[in-house]
Amino acid sequence: MAVTAEDVKKINPLVPIRAKVIKIVQETPDVKTFHISTMDDKKPFDPMPGQLGMLSLPAIGEAMFSVTNKGESHIEMAIKSVGQLTEALHEIEVGQEVGIRGPYGNGFPVDYCKGKDILFIGGGIGLAPVRSLIMHCIKNRDDYGKLTVVYGARSKADLCFKEDLFENWPKVPNMDVFVTIDREEEGWDGHVGFVPAYVEELAPKPQVTVLCGPPVMIKFTLPTLQKMNFKDQDIITTLELRMKCGIGKCGRCNIGSCYVCLDGPVFTMEQLKDLPPEY
């Protein structure tokens, strides 16, 4: 049995369990996806889409990552190399033992999204958390309406989850996948341009949109979504701030009186409008 959120609350939530990396996928030059199992080949915990896990190489550090997918006996985290810990993670090989604790955070409103057409918007590594919900919708395909993915990255090489984007997802019934890169390049005959403009051009008609990407993408996509007449409660995003404890105690991931690790990372535009713009 995988550890549930309730179990985590009973044990010491700040102490990780020992786990191992069973597979590493090089997604882009600076993004790798790590498949992680417990030492006895089980899922370290059973996250809901959008929930987080604290991964550590204890001698170097510990950081919070979204769980991008889960399997029968593992979870997956897609990690971009940007700092001390993530650079070290990019050096490890299959078999590496790591510390892991979680799940943390609220996750995406999977029930609220049921029966609805969903537009997923991702930029760069921002597809990682969104992918957990996409995978959930695919797994429970009959529970959700039309799925539309609009994803962009700087270049072809920087596109994460290429197998999903070009092989797996286009085969899913009633699912469209649109991929764009920022600038023309040799060997790319797909769309070129930024995500917000592409969304506007495609003008899909979903009921709910789920977006995650760099702040600049979010900033320019929101006016587009507003033009598309989304209600604020139907614009859903997931945020990232520096975190240490993951349980709403250590203080640093606050936005106003909310803690991203506990009350987030998923917020609707309706909720964000009530919070100070400090993220």
The site for other proteins (CB under 8 A) is made up of 8-9, 12-18, 57-63, 82-86, 92-93, 95-99, 215, 240-242, 244-245, 247-252, 254-257, 262, 276, 278-279
Minimum distance from residue 239 beta carbon to other proteins (Å): 10
Q: Which is nearer to other proteins, 165 or 258 (CB)?
A: 258
- Tokens describing residue 255: 């936005």
Minimum distance from residue 105 beta carbon to other proteins (Å): 11
- Tokens describing residue 51: 């929930």
Q: Which is nearer to other proteins, 58 or 170 (CB)?
A: 58
- Tokens describing residue 200: 């506007």
Amino acid at 246: G
Question: Angle 152-156-158 (CA atoms, 0-180°, nearest 5)?
Answer: 70
| Residue 72 near residue 66 (C-beta atoms within 8 A) | no
Three-state SS at 54: strand
Instruction: Note the Cα 168 to chain centre separation in Å.
Output: 18
Minimum distance from residue 268 beta carbon to other proteins (Å): 18
DSSP 8-state code for residue 142: G
Q: What is the largest CA-CA distance in the chain?
A: 55
Q: Which is nearer to other proteins, 1 or 59 (CB)?
A: 59
DSSP 8-state code for residue 267: E
Sign of the dihedral defined by the CA atoms of residues 166, 75, 115, 234, in that order: negative
Minimum distance from residue 37 beta carbon to other proteins (Å): 14
How many Cα atoms within 13 Å fall on the side-chain side of residue 85? 15
Q: For residues 121 and 218, give the distance between their C-alpha atoms in angstroms, rounded to a whole number.
A: 9
Q: Which is nearer to other proteins, 58 or 115 (CB)?
A: 58
Minimum distance from residue 91 beta carbon to other proteins (Å): 12
Q: Which is nearer to other proteins, 14 or 138 (CB)?
A: 14
Minimum distance from residue 68 beta carbon to other proteins (Å): 18
Q: Which is nearer to other proteins, 114 or 252 (CB)?
A: 252
Minimum distance from residue 92 beta carbon to other proteins (Å): 8
Q: Which is nearer to other proteins, 5 or 202 (CB)?
A: 5
Q: Considering only CA atoms, which of 139, 261, 272, 254 is closest in space to residue 211? A: 272
